[in-house]
Amino acid sequence: MRPFEYYSPRTLSEACNLLAEGEPDSKILAGGTDVLVEMRKSSAWSSKAIVDITRIPSLRGIGESGDWIIIKPLTTHTEVLHSDLVRTHAPLLQTAVSTIGSPQIRNRGTVGGNIMNAAACADTVPPLIALDAEIMLKSTSGERVIALSEFFVKPYVTVARRDEILVEVRFPKLPANARSSFVKLGRRNALSIARLSVAAVVCKDEAGVVTDARIVPGAAFPRWQRVPEAEKLLIGQKPSKELLVEGGKKVSEVMISFTGRRWSTEYKEPVIAVLVRRALEACE
Ligand SMILES: Cc1cc2nc3c(=O)[nH]c(=O)nc-3n(C[C@H](O)[C@H](O)[C@H](O)COP(=O)(O)OP(=O)(O)OC[C@H]3O[C@@H](n4cnc5c(N)ncnc54)[C@H](O)[C@@H]3O)c2cc1C
């Protein structure tokens, strides 16, 4: 490991100043479960300073404001897992964090780190996009709010500038008639990153007709996105087994229109269709 400067700011403005005026190649450190791995193994590691934000109290916690849930970036996956607010208003996010790594990783890893690392397999991202989440970034130049669906450019690349800190993740509470789910397929059952995943939200009226549907596959598209072509198939319908199968096949078809056919398509084409069907069935 190469030598580096270590800073431990106690306030957000101190952290913003360090990123703006300090070592130009600084790296923010939260739980460290991605950063430490990168530091130790990557020959491309070039950061000369670490800005450890874990001692900034304003970056922790889960709360609500009117119809919104607010998750601060240093909230760990374990804290999300035990949050009554998330259980009540965004259960698919709780399911997603329950699949992350191991208890040790969930105790250290944060929601903010998971988003900012932007790995294609990041498990909090599909549910947060299905929840229509927004994020707030802060720097010495001010704050800006971005829809999470607009935040990612490609795996490991976002529109965030290097001097910006993620300070808030927020999303509207799911309506009372919403059912939601997250399904993930890994190479094994524990300590497994997603080969593919699907987050889904389905709202129905009293007659059982779908009024809203959101489907967000993980690790399937070049960047995370909803699949309106499949969502439209469901809206206005009473779901049948055949309709859910059709929804799955549509996602598969749209995925291939984005990725083209490559070595993994033979596997991903049927598997994403089945995962979507399962995610939609779990919303029944
Ligand atoms: C064994 C193992 C298993 C894992 N399993 C999974 C899994 O199943 N699913 C999954 O999704 N991930 C998994 N991960 C990856 C990792 O645990 C998560 O991505 C975690 O949420 C990262 O959070 P962190 O706080 O540790 O981030 P860090 O490692 O501290 O930071 C990650 C990145 O985000 C940046 N960053 C962090 N916070 C901020 C902020 N507030 N503002 C701006 N930039 C910020 C850092 O600079 C860095 O680039 C695993 C990792 C390990 C080591």
Dist. CA 92 → ligand 1 center (Å) = 19
Region 18-47 average pLDDT: 88
What is the pLDDT, as a whole number, of residue 187?
A: 84
CA terminus-to-terminus distance, the chain? 50
Q: How far apart are CA 171 and CA 49, in angstroms?
A: 33
Tell me if 184 sits within 8 A of 99, measured CB to CB: yes
Closest listed residue to residue 51, CA positions, set 90, 12, 19: 19
User: What are the tens digits of pLDDT across the range 228-257?
Assistant: 999 999 999 999 999 999 999 999 999 999
Residue 96 Cα to ligand 1 midpoint, Å, equals: 14
At residue 251, φ and ψ (nearest 5 deg) are: -60, -40
Ligand 1 atom showing the smallest separation from residue 34 Cα: 29
Taking all residues of the chain, what is their mean pLDDT, rounded to a whole number?
95
Domains of the chain, residue spans = 5-52, 57-172, 178-282
Phi, psi of 165 (to 5 degrees): -110, 135
Give the per-residue pLDDT at 79. 98
CATH number of 5-52: 3.30.43.10
pLDDT at 160 over 90: yes
41 pLDDT above the threshold of 90: no
> Which atom of ligand 1 is nearest the CA belonging to 76?
25
Residue 2 above 80 pLDDT?
no
Using a 10 angstrom Cβ sphere, with 0-12 exposed, 13-18 middle and 19 or more buried, the burial of residue 128 is buried
At 231, is the secondary structure helix, strand, or coil? Answer: helix
pLDDT confidence bin for 23, thresholds 50/70/90: confident
Write down the CATH number for the domain with range 57-172.
3.30.465.10
Quick one: which atom of ligand 1 is closest to the CA of 30? 30
Q: How would DSSP label each residue in 59-94?
A: G--EEEETTEEEE-TT-BHHHHHT-HHHHHH-HHHH
Instruction: Kindly give the number of the ligand 1 atom that is closest to the alpha carbon of 73.
Output: 41
Say if residues 167 and 12 touch (Cβ distance below 8 Å): yes
Query: Which residue has the CA at smallest separation from atom 21 of ligand 1?
Result: 114
| d(CA 80, ligand 1 centre) in Å | 15
Rounded Cα–Cα distance for residues 74 and 59 (Å): 6
Atom of ligand 1 at shortest range from CA of 124: 11
User: How large is the average pLDDT for residues 99-128?
Assistant: 97
| pTM exceeds 0.95 | yes
Please tell me the residue having the least CA distance from ligand 1 atom 27: 113
Best residue for ligand 1 mutational test, from 12, 23, 28, 93 (most atoms within 8 Å of Cβ): 28
Mutation choice for ligand 1 from 23, 25, 33, CB with most ligand atoms inside 8 A: 33
Q: Give the CATH number of domain 178-282.
A: 3.30.390.50
- Pairing between strand 26-29 and 49-52? parallel
CB of 223 closer than 8 Å to CB of 200: no
- β-bridge pairing 165-172 and 178-185: unpaired
Q: Write out the two tokens for 82.
A: 């035990």
| pLDDT tens sequence across 166-177 | 999 999 999 999
Cα gap 6→24, rounded to integer Å: 14
CA distance 108 to 159: 25
What is the distance in A from the centroid of ligand 1 to the CA of 260?
29
Q: How far is the CA of 279 from the centre of ligand 1 (A)?
A: 25
- Compute, in angstroms, the gap from residue 112 CA to the centroid of ligand 1: 8
